[in-house]
Amino acid sequence: MNGRHHDFDAADGSDVTGTPPSRSDKAESDGVEEALALVGRKTSQGGAPAAAAGPSTVRHRATPWPDARALAERIGRAAPPRTQRVPLDQALGHVLAEPLAALCDLPSFDTSAMDGWIVAGPGPWTVQVGGSILAGHGEASPLPDGAAVRIATGARIPPEATAVIRSEHARTDADKGQLYAEREVVTGQDIRPRGQECRSGDQLLPAASLVTPAVLGLAAAAGYDELLTVVRPRVEVLVLGDELLTAGLPHDGLIRDALGPMVGPWLHALGVHVVATRRLGDDAEALYRAVTTSDADLILTTGGTAAGPVDHVHPVLRKAGAELLVDSVAVRPGHPMLLARLAADGDLPARHLVGLPGNPLAAVSGLLTLAEPLLRGLAGRPAPLPYRAPVHDEVHGHPYDTRLVPFVHRADHLVPLHYNGPAMLRGIAAADGLAVVPPGGAQAGDELEVLDLPWTSWTPSLVEGGRFT
């Protein structure tokens, strides 16, 4: 033991639902109940109970948190990539399936960078009568030495011209029909030469780049009408629980469904296609039917992952012949989360299922631990660059498990938020992300890994449908 972790002597056992700000962090999300849940858990060799072995030697059935994330991503990346051609106005938020290579030179002709005068040779110059050279027109006739013509930004440079003089740097003598420069004129000034930004065929962006608004602009400038992108993974969300209301106030032991309204939009913000969110109650038959007939790439269930009388996820997966790849993760909250593989069956290809625990913050933990890396892999998106930041306060840890704690960025530090209990969304709703607290906890100033939320950086799917007219 390193002396940092939360000691589990808080015998009231009441803290598993989180701590209001007035209470000590000591009693935050974990407690006696969870410590007891570890007691009696066998080592992977079927040896002594895990809790008796101590943190350095303990082996859980639970997959370590970093391994669970890495495995989920590997599984996603192992799927054969599917690609499609998408018109530019529907490509926002997609991922490029091939490098973006310029289809033309940019600029595609020598062009004026300023409004002013195009001149040939040294001045003063004779102003040519007969209008200006404007953007959007074909090539003008060659400019004789000593001549000047008005030119607009973006207009083609006529052959033989040598420089552009900005209007504010030039003076005309109307009587003499002459143009004088008020500053030294350098050959080529304010002319953007053809190919300055790229030559046709140059790689502008690598494959796997996210199509952002800027990428759409670049692709259009470089001549694209459509893009080859990775097909978005399709996800079906199954919300389990007879106790859930879809409207009104909680009453008579019934509570509002907090996951139906949250999980679909969260997935959407990750750039995937949510085919449906269905509420199935605690009906094992309905769950079996849904799981065995869904053609989504990923089925995501909420609730029913534990071992209660109506927790149907494990029995249904067994009945469906699913292979459990991850069966609980060493993370708090969210440890009952699971990942399973459903074999191909008839017309249905092999698919995956992620079971999110029912407690709402535990479900968020499952989303970020298993669903997000898996979907990132399936979507061909690169992993975000991992980053760490110092934590402002001491954060108690779990003795063996990783903790995910909602935080806000304040003056280069992560400030952990209260209301981080497994059943609470009050912290995460105000958060910039989740701080990854290693087993044993962290001291003030320790650098913690940070998980961003999709909307704390720009996200494609907050722009509904990503279309423009």
Ligand X SMILES: Nc1nc2c(c(=O)[nH]1)N[C@H]1C(S)=C(S)[C@@H](COP(=O)(O)OP(=O)(O)OC[C@H]3O[C@@H](n4cnc5c(N)ncnc54)[C@H](O)[C@@H]3O)O[C@H]1N2
The torsion angles phi and psi of 136, rounded to 5 degrees, stand at 90, 10
CB 406 → ligand MOO: shortest distance, Å?
14
| Residue 229 contact partner, candidates ligand X, ligand MOO, none, CB within 5 to 8 A by sort of partner | none
| Residue 311 contact partner, candidates ligand MOO, ligand X, none, CB within 5 to 8 A by sort of partner | ligand X
Please report, for the chain, how many H helices and E strands are present, in that order.
10, 27
Counting residues that bind ligand MOO (by CB under 6 A) gives: 10
| Residue 206 contact partner, candidates ligand MOO, ligand X, none, CB within 5 to 8 A by sort of partner | none
Q: How far apart are the first and last CA of the chain?
A: 61
Under rule CB under 6 A, residue 422 binds ligand MOO? yes
43 and 53 in contact (C-beta within 8 Å)? yes
**H or E, element range at 341:** strand 338-342
CB 91 → ligand X: shortest distance, Å?
33
Of residues 215 and 361, the one with the C-beta less far from ligand X? 361
Residues shown for the chain = 469
Which residues of this protein are in contact with ligand X, per CB under 6 A?
37, 239, 241, 243-244, 255, 257-259, 302-308, 311, 333, 335-336, 357-360, 362, 422
Tokens representing residue 351 in the block = 């698919």
The SS3 of residue 126 is: strand
The SS3 of residue 96 is: strand
**DSSP 8-state assignment for residue 402:** E
CB atoms within 10 A of CB 323: 12
Member of 362, 405, 425, 434 binding ligand MOO (CB under 6 A): 362
Under rule CB under 6 A, residue 406 binds ligand MOO? no
Of residues 72 and 127, the one with the C-beta less far from ligand MOO? 72
Of residues 102 and 316, the one with the C-beta less far from ligand X? 316
168/181 Cα distance (integer angstroms) = 10
| Residue 466 contact partner, candidates ligand X, ligand MOO, none, CB within 5 to 8 A by sort of partner | none
Of residues 166 and 312, the one with the C-beta less far from ligand X? 312
313/240 Cα distance (integer angstroms) = 9
Of residues 119 and 362, the one with the C-beta less far from ligand MOO? 362
User: Helix 372-379 to helix 65-78 angle, to the nearest 10 degrees?
Assistant: 30
CB 8 → ligand X: shortest distance, Å?
15
Least Cα distance to 313 among 365, 274, 367, 353 occurs for 353
Stretch 330-359 residues interacting with ligand MOO (CB under 6 A): 332-336, 357, 359
Residues ≥6 apart with Cβ < 8 Å to 320: 288, 291, 292, 342
Which residue lies nearest ligand MOO, judged by its C-beta? 422
Tokens representing residue 104 in the block = 């033309």
| Residue 158 contact partner, candidates ligand MOO, ligand X, none, CB within 5 to 8 A by sort of partner | none
Which residue lies nearest ligand X, judged by its C-beta? 358
CA distances from 231 to 169, 207, 390 (A): 53, 14, 38
Of residues 383 and 429, the one with the C-beta less far from ligand X? 429
CB 422 → ligand X: shortest distance, Å?
5
CB atoms within 10 A of CB 216: 18
Of residues 302 and 359, the one with the C-beta less far from ligand MOO? 359
CB 340 → ligand X: shortest distance, Å?
14
**Torsional class of 21: left (φ above 0), alpha (ψ -120 to 50), beta (otherwise):** alpha
Instruction: Write each residue from 276 to 315 as x if it is in contact with ligand MOO (CB under 6 A), else as -, in one continuous string.
Output: ----------------------------------------
CB 16 → ligand MOO: shortest distance, Å?
6
Of residues 333 and 399, the one with the C-beta less far from ligand MOO? 333
**DSSP 8-state assignment for residue 371:** I
Contact set with ligand MOO (CB under 6 A): 16, 332-336, 357, 359, 362, 422
